[in-house]
Chains A and B, each alone.
Chain A
Amino acid sequence: MSELLGLTVAQAAAKIAAGEISPAEYFEAWRGAAAGDELNAYLCHVDGDAGYDVEDGPLKGVPVAVKDIFCTEGTATTAGSRILEGYTPPYTATAVKRLDAAGARVLGKTNMDEFAMGSSNENSAYGPVLNPWDRGRVPGGSSGGSAAAVAGGLAPCAIGTDTGGSIRQPASLCGIVGLKPTYGSISRYGMIAFASSLDQCGPLTRDVTDAALLLAALQGRDPCDSTSVGIDGGIVVPSAEDLTGLRFGVPTQLDGDSFDAGVRDVFQATLAKIEARGGEIAEVSLPSAEHGISAYYVLAPAEASSNLARYDGVRYGMRAGSDSDLLEMYETTRAEGFGAEVKRRIMLGTYALSSGYYEAYYGQAQKVRTRIAEDFATAFAGVDFVVTPTSPSVAFGLGEKTADPLSMYLNDFFTVPMSLAGIPAISIPAGLAAPEGGGAELPVGFQIAAPAFAEQRLLEAAHALEQEIGFEARPEGVDG
């Protein structure tokens, strides 16, 4: 049994294709593992009686943990919110349908920060997810359940969503691979909206090859999402072993004070590993990136305040309050249905969009977004990739940052600029470092960003670097 769980998705898919293991045998092994979830990573598991008829495809028989932000027909979908309690979607998200068409099957729906708003998974209405490396620490967020499931040996792979870092940061904190593709490469249809101009689906996997396999199935134009464009030529499994001729840009603005010493050491060591494989390290300037968080926390809440207006207790989800007064019903439903962080962002968003403040906040933030995209365009004229740490620290303790929302927001300092520019970025585990306050060593992620729709080149480089890093550490008790 544990032999099956130790396989990567690519290895398992090859064995299934060769008839060495059956989809039922593989799925059952993972269903058993997922059922032993002690991390609160899953919100629900799929029914075991669903049968094992799966499509013939590159992911034939592969179970996937799906963030509970993706609508799944007939299976409850909550987006981590009380307000969607009782909601069973009448349709399935395109991303999930595409996985299904490739032969994969949903293993369960994973826990998340409410409406994907958070960096620690502590904003879930269904309780926090625990980090498999240290259960007293957060797994990151908002795709914390998906990351913890993969790192904790509860799923072979997962999908999540990334609006400002919600795939990359939990991947970093859990020691796995997380890819945010270019905005528009995967359909957002059926993916519950947070900030529509930033939201993007992506894979969380054990290694870069598995991320490529999932992306190949997920990406593509969808008539149901007018912003989806797909990736020219599709995605193939990466095979690059060296980095000769490639230039990796380190932002000159990377200030050593803005991240932990342990993270800095792993980052520096990884730069040396890039050089060991023939890559070249160069300096790039991203002068506006430092304003990314400020711009993001105007733009994302503004879009969220509009998107979340639909939850009013009328068409789906919970309803509370008066049976005789419409306005009171709306207010009570939203007061009881939304958590504190969601309310905070709705208020920030409506404030930023209000008459008299619109130009100063929303208009200005949109211009900062332009500047940041221009910074990257300029950088990519001289380098192939831009690299940074994924997160300023290793996984922090449960409750450590909940009292100060701003310190929580600053977790996304390195990931938000790529989201604003709409470009692809991947986090790969690069090593271990001790937390600032002391304790056992925890994973550190290394972020690589590429120009829009350069996913194949990004995956090739990440694959070559992954070979040099040779990250083999696993949480205690996890196979593979």
Chain B
Amino acid sequence: MTAELSGILAHVDRIGQMDLEGVEPTSHVVALENVWRQDEPVPSLPKEVALRSAPEPVDGAFRVPSPQADA
């Protein structure tokens, strides 16, 4: 994979040669405006539904191995 990534980066590096001084970057093509709405609570996904596809749901939560395994 090292050789593949090097080949791709060599191709990509070509844009490094372009003179783009003063050009504005584009992160998004649609002109977006902020949209306001009332902060009213609406029903959200029920807990049991949100947990249904979890690999290891336990007591209404997602179980994970301890992050302090080495401690």
Which residues of A are at the interface with B, using a C-beta cutoff of 8 A?
86-91, 183-184, 197, 226-227, 229, 291, 293-295, 297-298, 313-319, 322-329, 340, 343-344, 347-348, 351, 360-361, 363-371, 373, 404-406, 409, 421-422, 452
> Across chains A and B, which 10 residue pairs bring their CB atoms closest together, nearest first?
A422-B29, A366-B25, A319-B55, A316-B53, A367-B20, A367-B23, A325-B69, A369-B26, A184-B30, A370-B26
6 A-B contacts (beta carbon < 8 Å): A86-B53, A87-B53, A227-B32, A316-B53, A365-B15, A366-B27
Contact B56 A319 (CB under 8 A): yes
Contact A314 B55 (CB under 8 A): yes
Contacts of B1 in A (CB 8 A): 340, 343-344, 347
How many whole Å from A187's CB to the nearest CB in chain B? 13
A86 to B49, CA, bound (A): 14
How many whole Å from A381's CB to the nearest CB in chain B? 18
Contact A316 B29 (CB under 8 A): no
Contacts of A370 in B (CB 8 A): 23-26
Contacts of B25 in A (CB 8 A): 363, 366-367, 369-370
How many whole Å from A290's CB to the nearest CB in chain B? 9
Contact B30 A422 (CB under 8 A): yes
Number of B residues with CB within 8 Å of any CB on chain A: 39
A316 to B53, CA, bound (A): 5
Contact A314 B4 (CB under 8 A): no
Contact B50 A90 (CB under 8 A): yes
Contact B15 A326 (CB under 8 A): no
How many whole Å from A343's CB to the nearest CB in chain B? 8
Contact B62 A226 (CB under 8 A): no
A226 to B64, CA, bound (A): 33
A-facing residues in B13-71 (Cβ within 8 Å): 13-16, 18, 20, 23-30, 32, 35, 45, 49-50, 52-56, 62, 64-67, 69-70
Contacts of B20 in A (CB 8 A): 364, 367-368, 371
Asked, given contacts A348-B8, A370-B23, A406-B7, whether A314 binds B64 with beta carbons under 8 Å apart, the answer is yes
A229 to B4, CA, bound (A): 39
Contact A373 B69 (CB under 8 A): no
Contact B45 A91 (CB under 8 A): yes
A322 to B30, CA, bound (A): 44
Contact B24 A367 (CB under 8 A): yes
B55 CB contact (under 8 Å) in A90, A313, A343: A313
Contacts of B16 in A (CB 8 A): 360, 364
How many whole Å from B63's CB to the nearest CB in chain A? 9
How many whole Å from A433's CB to the nearest CB in chain B? 27
Contact A361 B12 (CB under 8 A): yes
How many whole Å from A345's CB to the nearest CB in chain B? 10
B53 CB contact (under 8 Å) in A88, A324, A325: A88
A348 to B4, CA, bound (A): 11
A241 to B53, CA, bound (A): 51
How many whole Å from B65's CB to the nearest CB in chain A? 5
Contact B54 A314 (CB under 8 A): yes
Contact A197 B5 (CB under 8 A): no
Which residues of B are at the interface with A, using a C-beta cutoff of 8 A?
1, 4-5, 7-9, 11-16, 18, 20, 23-30, 32, 35, 45, 49-50, 52-56, 62, 64-67, 69-70
Contact B23 A371 (CB under 8 A): yes
Contacts of A366 in B (CB 8 A): 25-27
Contact A90 B49 (CB under 8 A): yes
Question: Which of B26, B45, B52, B53 is the most central at the interface, judged by chain A CB atoms within 10 Å of its CB?
Answer: B26
Contact B54 A316 (CB under 8 A): yes
A298 to B27, CA, bound (A): 12
Can you name the residue of chain A whose Cβ is closest to the Cβ of B20?
A367
Contacts of A322 in B (CB 8 A): 65, 69
Contact A293 B52 (CB under 8 A): no
Asked, given contacts A314-B54, A326-B67, A368-B18, whether A183 binds B11 with beta carbons under 8 Å apart, the answer is no
Contacts of B67 in A (CB 8 A): 326-327
Contacts of A325 in B (CB 8 A): 65-66, 69-70
How many whole Å from A332's CB to the nearest CB in chain B? 11
Contact A324 B66 (CB under 8 A): yes
How many whole Å from A337's CB to the nearest CB in chain B? 11
A422 to B11, CA, bound (A): 23
A298 CB contact (under 8 Å) in B12, B49, B66: B12
Can you name the residue of chain B whose Cβ is closest to the Cβ of A360?
B16
Contacts of B50 in A (CB 8 A): 90, 315
Asked, given contacts A90-B53, A370-B26, whether A344 binds B5 with beta carbons under 8 Å apart, the answer is yes
Starting from the known contacts A367-B24, A405-B7, 13 additional A-B residue pairs (CB-CB under 8 Å) come to A184-B29, A227-B32, A291-B14, A293-B11, A297-B8, A298-B12, A314-B62, A315-B62, A317-B53, A325-B65, A367-B23, A368-B18, A409-B11
A88 to B50, CA, bound (A): 10
Contact A373 B54 (CB under 8 A): no
Contacts of B4 in A (CB 8 A): 344, 404-406
Contact A226 B32 (CB under 8 A): yes
